[in-house]
Amino acid sequence: MVVAMGFGRLLMQLVLVGVLVAPAAAQDDRPNCPQRCGNVSIPYPFGIKGCCRNEDFLITCKKIDSNSPQPQPFLGNTGIEVTNINITLGELQINNNVSKYCYNSDYSSTRDYQTRFTRTLTLSNFTVSRSRNKFTVVGCNSYAYLHGFGRKENYSTGCMSICDSPHNVYVKSCAGSGCCQIEIPDGLYSANVTAYRFNERENVSKFNPCTYAFIVEDGKFNFSSKYVENIPQDKFPMVLEWSIHDYTNQEASEGISSACKLNAFSYKPDSVPGYRCKCNEGYVGNPYLGCQDVNECEDPSLNKCVVSKNCVNTEGNYTCLCPKGYRRDGLRERGTGCTAEDKQSLKTKAIIGSSIAISLLFVIMACALCGIQRRKINELKQKNFRDNGGPVLRQLLSKIERSAEKAKIFTEDELKKATNNFNESEIVGRGGFGIVYKGTLNNKLVAIKKSRVMDHDQIEQFVNEVFVLSQIKHPNVVKLIGCCLETSVPLLVYEFITNKTLHHHIQNEVSGSCMPWKTRLKIAVETADALAHMHSDAPIHIIHRDVKSENILLNDDFQAKVSDFGVSRLVPLDQTQLPTLVQGTFGYIDPEYFHSGLLNEKSDVYSFGVVLLELLTGEKVLSSDRPDKDKSLAAFFISSMKEDRLFEILHERVRNEGNQEQIKGVAELARRCLRFKGVKRPTMKEVKMELEELMIGKCLHVEVRTDFEETEPLLGPPTNFCSTSVSIGPDSTKYQAALQLESGR
């Protein structure tokens, strides 16, 4: 039997086009089973009562009301309206209601909880599709939560949208200004969407009275700036995934593929448990009822026979016959066709010679194509190098006299070789801004950071940062070795730090309890020294903008190394603050910077104060285990200080090993770093000097204040958030805001 080349591809096209027709023919043997409900086809294993595989696949066909022109299908006995069933992909399209939160004319809020899939529906065979849906929030000064359950654990995430006027709405996409859109995880059996608003102001409510939140099928929602005023729809399409995993006693005895009927096989999908069925190659139809053979000989486009009438259909395939007196496979194109059995020697040689010539021609063409492809790749690399500021950076680096201080410009091939072609096994970290790979260059371990996106409007800023950071020679700052500009997004190469992050050692039950107080204090001094150097002594002043324990690496001697300058800003010597896009991590962000959008060196001081609290207490920066008012560590610390409970909240090892006056001094310094007004905070150089004095025991008596002169509002996350990253502000042309839940860190 000869297998037709290209048959699989054509057959798959036939399956996709005819999948709803063939099952209907198979269901003719079930005379009392309707094949449609309204305009929706109902293929088995779905069906009305008595026609479905079991209750999980029950479809209720009914009119929504007396005015409905025709009945609509609903899933089981629920109110979930079904709009399409795809047995090939294992998908179910439904209409999903919008959750909204509105302000009335008297500014009293109302919330409409309509979008709920709850576990009480017992739809064990259905999950929300990750690849086909997006969680979407529309509104200004709006945010919403998605709570769900899947893979035997709860899941929560959120999305936030910020805009002060209709002119600030970014109309091209859901980029965070007027509309926010994020992905959801695999395997959610339930999803509960709740909409909120915050910082409500009358001018915003006039053009945007409501927050709208919903899960929508990817590509089925096109954002318009008019939607912040009102969304005309109250429902959007959403895709569920389904599979078979509810075995009957008979099916269990027959095996896992018992639901797959004649000429079909079972396979296990990636995103849901259980299995699905497909028709064997060469067959079409409904695999849950039985698949029928495709007669390729009836359609010349499906067979490759030299003579179509010589095509012989076989079960699941076909064969091409040669006329009497001829031989070989009878296939055109890549086949050998039909050749006369008795050929003259000269003709045979001519055929052989022609074949060799054609083969050589193909080889030459293949080599030429490879050369063209290689040239295109080189041209693309050169274009990326130019677009990423390579010529300017090379010129700047040439001004550095000592070659030891220069950042090296690596080729893409060098970094591919160093990371085994960016193999996933070499990934050592993932974050909101990119992926970090471990690699080996010149027999030395390096860390290679690959950013997710790069705003090419900021290329000049990026080039300046690489140039300046390559000159920072400080023992407590991760050394920038070089970069690669041949890729669409530039790659940065740093020295590799072996002992993970300060966050890991604080939060890990084993590592955290093993970190002595002296080591904690030493890490605080070294981190403060690095930040003070960047603020005051570097060639150009640098504000880190994302100081947190996760960005403080430790080597094997527990020496601190400040890292991750992906959102850092260079500050001209004649400026004290910068209007900028607010970026950072909730719990660490300076509240004054968050509310004003004005960045200065005191913003790093606030974040460092939170790191001091982590070193003192070992507590999480954001924790839902604490009362609402104390969810942020800063708020928890301030309230504990006011109540004179400092030594109750300290980590056990700090409390047992530390000198009380020394601990009081660090706590009082942390409190000053956390002052709401930046002008009242110390500089990083002052912080470093005080910590050094405390470490050597110069401060013999410190009074811990419990009466505070000012109320210090502290930035905290929304309820139920464990850790969030935020990006908002007026200097972004996209004016975007994003909340990313990082619960697994």
632 located within any domain? yes
Assess whether pLDDT exceeds 70 at residue 727. Answer: no
424 located within any domain? yes
Taking the C-alpha atoms of residue 188 and residue 185, their distance in angstroms, rounded to an integer, is 7
- CATH code: domain of residue 451: 3.30.200.20
59 located within any domain? no
pLDDT value for 124: 62
Taking the C-alpha atoms of residue 321 and residue 338, their distance in angstroms, rounded to an integer, is 8
pLDDT tens column, 694-726: 998 765 455 556 555 444 444 444 434 334 444
Assess whether pLDDT exceeds 90 at residue 606. Answer: yes
148 located within any domain? yes
pLDDT value for 336: 67
- Of 151-165, 297-311, 478-492, 520-534, the poorest mean pLDDT is in 297-311
Same domain? 483 vs 511:
no
Name the region of 87 (left: φ>0; alpha: ψ -120 to 50; beta: rest).
Answer: alpha
End residue of a domain, out of 495, 516, 551? 495
**Average pLDDT of the residues in 621-649:** 91
pTM for the full predicted model: 0.48
**Torsion from C-alpha of 637, 643, 649, 653, nearest 10 degrees:** 110
Q: Which of 146, 128, 133 has its CA nearest to residue 196? A: 146
**Average pLDDT of the residues in 152-170:** 87
Same domain? 488 vs 507:
no
Confidence class for position 254, pLDDT limits 50, 70, 90: low
pLDDT value for 640: 92
**Residues annotated catalytic, as ranges:** 546
Structure tokens at 531: 């930040």
pLDDT tens column, 88-104: 999 999 998 899 888 76
Q: What is the per-residue burial (b if ≥16 Cβ within 10 Å, else e) of 421-457? A: ebeeebeebebbbbbbbbbebeeeebbbbbbeebeee
Tell me whether residue 417 is annotated as binding.
no
pLDDT value for 654: 92
* Three-class secondary structure of residue 117 per DSSP: strand
Contact 584, 611 (CB under 8 A): no
Average pLDDT over all residues of the chain: 80
Q: Environment class of residue 201 by beta-carbon count within 10 Å: exposed (0-12), middle (13-18) or buried (19+)?
A: exposed
605 located within any domain? yes
Taking the C-alpha atoms of residue 190 and residue 147, their distance in angstroms, rounded to an integer, is 8
Taking the C-alpha atoms of residue 23 and residue 261, their distance in angstroms, rounded to an integer, is 12
158 vs 4 pLDDT, higher one: 158
**Torsion from C-alpha of 12, 16, 21, 25, nearest 10 degrees:** 40
Confidence class for position 458, pLDDT limits 50, 70, 90: low
216 located within any domain? yes
666 vs 334 pLDDT, higher one: 666
Taking the C-alpha atoms of residue 329 and residue 561, their distance in angstroms, rounded to an integer, is 69
Confidence class for position 118, pLDDT limits 50, 70, 90: very low
CB pairs under 8 A, 24+ apart, for 515-518? 515/558, 515/653, 516/653, 516/657, 517/653, 517/654, 517/657, 517/658, 518/657
Same domain? 475 vs 518:
no
Confidence class for position 503, pLDDT limits 50, 70, 90: very high
Contact 259, 287 (CB under 8 A): no
> In Å, what is the CA distance from 107 to each residue of 99, 144, 601?
19, 19, 38
Contact 120, 271 (CB under 8 A): no
730 vs 600 pLDDT, higher one: 600
pLDDT value for 566: 66
* Three-class secondary structure of residue 629 per DSSP: helix
DSSP 307: S
Taking the C-alpha atoms of residue 108 and residue 460, their distance in angstroms, rounded to an integer, is 48
Same domain? 489 vs 508:
no
pLDDT value for 719: 39
The half-sphere exposure of 93 on its side-chain side, counting CA atoms within 13 A, is 16
Contact 292, 23 (CB under 8 A): no
Number of helices (H), then strands (E), belonging to the chain: the values are 18, 40
Same domain? 467 vs 544:
no
Confidence class for position 403, pLDDT limits 50, 70, 90: low
Same domain? 479 vs 394:
yes
Same domain? 473 vs 606:
no
Give helix 390-397 / helix 345-387 axis angle, nearest 10°: 60
DSSP 536: I
Taking the C-alpha atoms of residue 428 and residue 422, their distance in angstroms, rounded to an integer, is 11
pLDDT tens column, 652-682: 999 999 889 999 999 999 999 999 999 999 9
Same domain? 473 vs 602:
no
Same domain? 704 vs 555:
yes
End residue of a domain, out of 446, 478, 495? 495
Please, what sign has the CA dihedral across residues 165, 168, 170, 174? Answer: negative
Beta-strand relationship, 408-410 and 480-484: parallel
Same domain? 535 vs 667:
yes
Phi/psi at 262 (5° precision): -55, 135
**Average pLDDT of the residues in 636-651:** 92
66 located within any domain? no
Phi/psi at 212 (5° precision): -115, 135
**Average pLDDT of the residues in 67-77:** 88
- Of 284-293, 339-348, 423-432, 723-732, the poorest mean pLDDT is in 723-732
Select, from the ranges 126-140, 566-580, 687-701, 726-740, the one with the highest average predicted confidence (pLDDT).
126-140
Confidence class for position 599, pLDDT limits 50, 70, 90: confident
Beta-strand relationship, 133-139 and 235-242: unpaired
**Average pLDDT of the residues in 487-512:** 85
> In Å, what is the CA distance from 42 to each residue of 84, 146, 248, 364?
8, 31, 22, 54
End residue of a domain, out of 476, 495, 514? 495
pLDDT value for 245: 77
Q: Tell me the residue type at 317.
A: N
**Average pLDDT of the residues in 357-365:** 90
Assess whether pLDDT exceeds 60 at residue 743. Answer: no
Number of domains in the chain: 3
Assess whether pLDDT exceeds 60 at residue 217. Answer: yes
Residue in the block written with tokens 């324990």: 549
Taking the C-alpha atoms of residue 90 and residue 131, their distance in angstroms, rounded to an integer, is 13
Report the chain's terminal Cα–Cα distance, integer Å. 56
Q: Environment class of residue 527 by beta-carbon count within 10 Å: exposed (0-12), middle (13-18) or buried (19+)?
A: buried
Phi/psi at 465 (5° precision): -65, -45
DSSP 682: P
pLDDT tens column, 570-589: 665 555 565 566 777 889 99
Q: Environment class of residue 575 by beta-carbon count within 10 Å: exposed (0-12), middle (13-18) or buried (19+)?
A: exposed
> Could you tell me which residues come within 8 angstroms of residue 222 by beta carbon, excluding any fewer than 6 positions away?
none
Assess whether pLDDT exceeds 90 at residue 213. Answer: yes
Assess whether pLDDT exceeds 60 at residue 637. Answer: yes
Full residue range of the structural domain in which residue 623 is found: 502-581+591-714
Assess whether pLDDT exceeds 80 at residue 3. Answer: no
Give helix 517-532 / helix 684-695 axis angle, nearest 10°: 150
Taking the C-alpha atoms of residue 276 and residue 268, their distance in angstroms, rounded to an integer, is 6
Same domain? 566 vs 680:
yes
Same domain? 533 vs 414:
no
pLDDT value for 673: 96
* Percent of residues, the chain, with pLDDT higher than 90: 32
244 located within any domain? no
pLDDT value for 115: 47
The count of other CB atoms within 10 Å of the CB of residue 664 is: 19
pLDDT value for 283: 92
